Amino acid sequence: MNQLYNKFLENLILPAGDLVLGTAFIHQLNYWREIQNKTTAELHFIQNKNLTKLLEHARQNIPFYKRLNIDYESDPYLLIKKFPVMKKNIIKQELKYLANGDISKMVKMTSSGSSGVQGTVYMSKKNQSNQLAAQTLWWEWSGYKLGDSLLQTGITPNRGIVKTAKDNLLNTLYASAYSLDKTEILAILKQLQKTPREYFMGYASSLYVFSKVAEENNINNVHFKSVVSWGDKMFPHFRSKIEKQFNTKVFDTYGCTEGFMIAGECEAHRYHIMTPMVFLELLDDYGMEVEPGQIGHVVVTRLDNYVMPLIRYYLGDLAIAAAKNEICTCGRKFPLLDKIIGRDTDIVKTRSGKYMVVHAFTGIFEHIPEIRQFRVIQKDLDFIEIEYIKEKVWVDNVLDEIKKKIQGYLNEDFQINFTEVQTIPSTPSGKPQIIQSFLNQSVNA
């Protein structure tokens, strides 16, 4: 039945949706299915061609880069070193000089991401389709096929007509990751006991919370074929808890809201870098390339977005690359990341047993332009403190608006204190910390 429905979706429904919406998801998915079987030489050729084309486009057509007068270099891997490393605050300041064309016709992606600094990126519908297709390929590495039953956590609780239709067509039960209420999680877990779902996908920290609640309530008969994670870091203790509790394997993915699908875990649980779509650099503190096996700052270039090229985009993460000639046992020839290093993204917890993960907060603050940056600090189960840096434009009731939204998601009168600050300290990776929890020092959270 699943195979028939999968063919129905891929051959009829989804192509029709692409036609109506002006997207190209199925076309791009088939492209990635072919790409994953290319040889090392073929993958290098594709990346070289895509990088050359993008850098020349930026030099010739994007006002910000034209202004820099970057000298031509025939080797794209040398040419890109002449481009500056771009952090989110620079992109925000130079936005109108980085976007190419009428932005009203572009897809707008706005997110504070895990850095707590808001950012806006524009892309075409084809770019967005390519992003979703690459993500779906990663899901397929876990065994998933379009139409398989799925439980998904996310930060878009108001699904709307299009997203609701998508959920129904793709057999998806959607759970909000904004406020993870124990009662709601238990209700979903009990529903899964009666009507199982084959796959579980979502933000790593939210998947972990589900596994903890299942364990604490002795719900040991909810299993999944695979679990796919994204958004925040899949820490070893997250992975072991999820795999043990749900009798499954975790397939982690690495990307960001700005449209980068950087690396995904295959069946052998190695991270494959999607080189036809992204050029990845690992740099030391002085901007020099580190050797494989050494820790470096993640800097990425998306190779298919000509609308708003993100060239040498500094993510604030740390990672370690595998040896250049190392080939995964799965047979795919993409280069490998040995390890993605990140912060232990803490979870805010209330005394009543509710949770808010980092993306619950970024999902709120991305719509608050009056605040440039924020950090959530928790020292007690009864309240949190939110440090914030003001933008130049300020509205007096904005803090009340934030408080109402957080309390609304938690559905309780949770105490929230606000403190205006001038700076928010960064972690060793250079990335501001969103949640700083001290509960583990005094509370078994």
pLDDT, tens digit, 9 for 90 and up, residues 21-55: 999 999 999 999 999 999 999 999 999 999 999 99
Q: Which amino acid is at 164?
A: T
Task: Identify the H or E element spanning 166.
Answer: helix 160-169
**Confidence bin at 117 (pLDDT 50/70/90):** low
* Token pair in block for residue 34: 């072919």
**Confidence bin at 444 (pLDDT 50/70/90):** very low
pLDDT of residue 440: 58
For the segment 398-414, the average pLDDT, to the nearest whole number, is 90
Coil, helix or strand at residue 69: coil
* Token pair in block for residue 213: 């609640």
**Confidence bin at 354 (pLDDT 50/70/90):** confident
Identify the residue with better confidence: 222 or 110: 222
297-310: per-residue pLDDT in tens?
A: 899 999 999 999 99
Residue 383 in contact with residue 444, Cβ under 8 Å? no
> What are the CA-CA distances from residue 68 to residues 63, 230, 307 (Å)?
9, 35, 19
pLDDT of residue 179: 65
Identify the residue with better confidence: 435 or 23: 23
Between CA 56 and CA 214 the distance in angstroms is: 53
Between CA 176 and CA 171 the distance in angstroms is: 16
Q: Chain-wide mean pLDDT for the chain? A: 89
Taken as a whole, the chain contains a residue count of: 445
**Confidence bin at 9 (pLDDT 50/70/90):** very high
Return the minimum-mean-pLDDT range out of 4-18, 115-129, 197-211, 281-295: 115-129
**Do β-strands 260-265 and 119-123 pair in parallel, antiparallel, or remain unpaired?**
unpaired
Classify domain 348-441 at the CATH superfamily level: ANL, C-terminal domain (3.30.300.30)
Neighbours of 24 (CB within 10 A): 21
For the segment 97-103, the average pLDDT, to the nearest whole number, is 84
Between CA 357 and CA 204 the distance in angstroms is: 9
* Token pair in block for residue 305: 């977005």
Residue 341 has pLDDT above 60, yes or no: yes
pLDDT of residue 442: 37
**Confidence bin at 445 (pLDDT 50/70/90):** very low
pLDDT of residue 35: 97
pLDDT of residue 116: 52
Residue 427 has pLDDT above 70, yes or no: no
**Confidence bin at 257 (pLDDT 50/70/90):** confident
Residue 281 has pLDDT above 50, yes or no: yes
Residue 319 has pLDDT above 70, yes or no: yes
What percent of the chain lies above the pLDDT cut of 70? 93
pLDDT of residue 104: 78
- In CATH, what class is 1-343? alpha beta
Residues of the chain with CATH 3.30.300.30: 348-441
